[in-house]
Chain A
Amino acid sequence: MTDSIQRRSGPLFAAPALLGLVVFVAVPFALAVVLAFTNLRLGSPLPTEFVGAEQFRRIFAEPAFVRALLNNTLFALVVVPLQTLLALALALLLHQRLKGRAFFRTLFFAPVVFPLSLVAVVWVLIYAPGPEGMMNGFLRAVTFGAWIPRDFLRDPVLALPAIMLTSIWQGAGFQMVILLAGLQGIPGELYEAAAMDGAGRWGQFQHVTLPQLRNTLSFTVLVTSILAFRLFDQVQIMTRGGPRNATTTVMFEAVQASFGRQQVAKGAAMTVVLFLVVLAITGVQRWVARQGREVG
């Protein structure tokens, strides 16, 4: 009796969330897949036709889109490890009983609360070209005047690193908070036991902290990788994909195609590719995590 009620109430409780998933995630994604095989244009009075894989052929023939995929990959490869390391360092630092710990935690978390668009605008000013620019001024000061002022956001080599730095500054606080929570969840006895066994600080970190943080770390790495592939706001505001596609991203290209040029089908094809990439990354990371767990 109670069994059957429970069996029925389970799906019932899940229903609202499932409905939301279907309406807001599954249906739009299915639509994007379908649209990617058409020639739909925003607002066009011409009939929409199925064109097969034409949109996919076109986007992969477009230097801007290929560059966007590369940029996203490069961005993820640089930002994910750096940001995670920085966040871990901050979390370890702020996990100790420091004076003003709450203040520093708030300080490092603050950039996460700022809207990304605001952060981007502020960093545009920081990267201002010419000797008056803050970053140029700073680099000049630390190199004792040897630094020649550069226009960071219009420099084909420096533009993407500039956006990476902004993103790390903005995103590290979020990971830090999650890692802090992970650190607080590690029982103190483990450290005591490790100390008894003669482990130094490095040994404790290596054999207690890291293994205990495994799940938290793999979560933050996964989330950061996905966010890295969705990079958009900073690009839109700071560089508009330039110079010469040096900072363009898949999301930026998709928005440009769909709303700038009204080529919705092409934008849809780009988002489908993006989805497949993110799916693949998630799969690989899950696989790696599982391997690690089996070994450990």
Chain B
Amino acid sequence: MLSNYVLALLLAFVLLGCEQQQPPGAVPHLSVWAHAGQAAERKVLEKQVQRFNVQQDDLRLDLTFIPERTYNAQVQAAAIAGDLPDLLELDGPYIANYAWQGHLVTLDDLLSRAIRADLLPSIVAQGTYRDRLYGVGAFDSGLALYARRDVLDQAEIRIPQHPRGAWTRDEFDALLLSLRDSDEDGAVLDLKLNYPDEWFSYAFSPLIQSAGGDLVRRDDYQSAQGALNSRGAVLAMTALQGWMQQGLVDPNLDDAAFVSGRVALSWAGHWDYPRYKDALGDALALVPLPDFGKGTRTGQGSWVWSITRKCSDPEGAVRFVEFLLQPAEILAITETNGAVPATRSAIALSPAYREGGPLHLFVTQLAEGYAVPRPQTPAYPVISSAFRRAFADIRSGAPVRQVLDDAVVLIDQDIRDNQGYAPVEDP
């Protein structure tokens, strides 16, 4: 905790230092904040900024990294203090909140049409709030089941190739039980229960959506009533609770349940592919999440770039975003972080994600409507917080329907308190 404050202080000094160094009449500088991801990812972004700066003679970018775990809290604090940078990286589902607060400019008139048309539909969907685009990312994320092909073959379980052929609910229940029979500790499924906070909304709301429920009603985002406590949601969460209570799910404290062979199935994101591939080689299969009635659904959304309202040169800022969306630059970052490239032209050049590539399933899910963006409403932080708590309660055996009803009350009260999150006129 303390180290964060020290870091923030240091950061403040660095920023102050930068501002003072700038001589009058020099090339305009734009400040850029990004989340500090893996070291390799940071290095790529630093190089990208350098390359961009070399190309431009009338613009320079100053890049600052902010620790990932406290990123949103720090950006929110800066927003309140009126100290946002010109260009900002945001976690996808938070866009609506920042846009509603009036901190972002829309990219609709800024981003070139050719690039926009090239984007995966999921990127546009997550970046849109009230029909306007406020953020685009260079990559998207994907969620699927990783499976041990040899174990499934031995149990004579079919391996779906396409989201259309996803395992049905009955099939999935049956295969968990049949896998258990030949498993040492009876736990055959990894749900990444070791992950923090946002994972739960990201990973398990798709199951609710597949069963016909949702986190919130998407027609007007005014209530979670009949969505988060709908029959579908109760069904999905009851199934999850059942798996956990029957001991089918590995608690996975060491994050090694799948690679060490304790489980045959891992409910995980695209980012685990390199590690899993190294451990399993050709025995690794990628399978869509189970279909609970309305077709399989999957998570999506990742870090996106947004331009703030205080940006002195939005055209210049969007030039950087467009620079990052060139196929070569997209691949530079996605080959480092393993994420799904954001444009079709970059996907075609990616050995892992192009047609026939081992991770093409993620592209199919994102491009063919199997991915659902997390609710694009300013209420999202509250929704996610309520759902996370509900999940924890359900995990420890609480009655599902009641827990979900309580979460609905919490969410609806927040929406009412904020007058329905109606658009606020410019201050």
Contacts and interface: CB of A to CB of B under 8 A. Distances in A.
A256 B382 CA distance: 10
B336 interface: no
Nearest to A156: B396
A262 interface: yes
Nearest to B413: A58
A44 B395 CA distance: 33
Interface in B333-352: none
B102 A256 contact: no
Contact of B76 (A43, A128, A240): A43
B392 interface: yes
Contacts of B185: 130
| Most-contacted residue by chain A among B73, B76, B417 (CB, 10 A) | B417
B102 A45 contact: yes
Which size class do B's interface residues fall under? 20 to 34
B339 to A, nearest CB: 26
B392 A259 contact: no
A267 to B, nearest CB: 13
Given A117-B1, A125-B253, A42 B392 contact: no
Contacts of A129: 251, 253
Contacts of B392: 240-243
Given A151-B251, A240-B392, A244-B393, A46 B381 contact: no
Given A243-B392, A261-B382, A45 B251 contact: no
Nearest to A151: B251
B414 to A, nearest CB: 7
Given A41-B418, A46-B424, A125-B253, A243 B395 contact: yes
A39 B396 CA distance: 33
A43 B1 contact: no
B79 interface: yes
A261 B79 CA distance: 16
A167 B417 CA distance: 37
| Most-contacted residue by chain A among B80, B97, B389 (CB, 10 A) | B389
Contact of A124 (B253, B386, B414, B424): B253
A260 interface: yes
A155 B397 CA distance: 10
A44 B418 contact: yes
B396 A42 contact: no
B38 interface: no
B100 interface: yes
B398 interface: yes
A263 interface: yes
A42 B414 CA distance: 13
A39 B413 CA distance: 13
A72 to B, nearest CB: 19
Nearest to A248: B389
Given A45-B101, A46-B424, A124-B253, A259 B382 contact: no
B88 to A, nearest CB: 14
A156 B393 CA distance: 10
Contacts of B100: 45
B147 to A, nearest CB: 23
Nearest to B3: A115
B385 A261 contact: yes
A154 interface: yes
Interface string A172-189: 000000000000000000
A125 B101 CA distance: 41
Contacts of A125: 253
B24 interface: no
Contacts of A124: 253
Contacts of B154: none
Given A46-B424, A261-B414, A154 B396 contact: yes
Interface of B: 1, 73, 76, 79-80, 97, 100-102, 185, 251, 253, 381-382, 385-386, 389, 392-393, 395-398, 414, 417-419, 424, 427
23 contacts: A39-B417, A41-B417, A43-B76, A43-B79, A43-B101, A44-B101, A45-B100, A117-B1, A124-B253, A130-B251, A151-B251, A155-B396, A156-B396, A241-B389, A242-B395, A243-B393, A243-B396, A243-B397, A244-B396, A256-B385, A260-B381, A260-B385, A263-B414
Given A130-B251, A243-B396, A244-B398, 9 more contacts: A41-B418, A129-B253, A242-B389, A242-B396, A243-B397, A244-B393, A244-B396, A261-B382, A262-B381
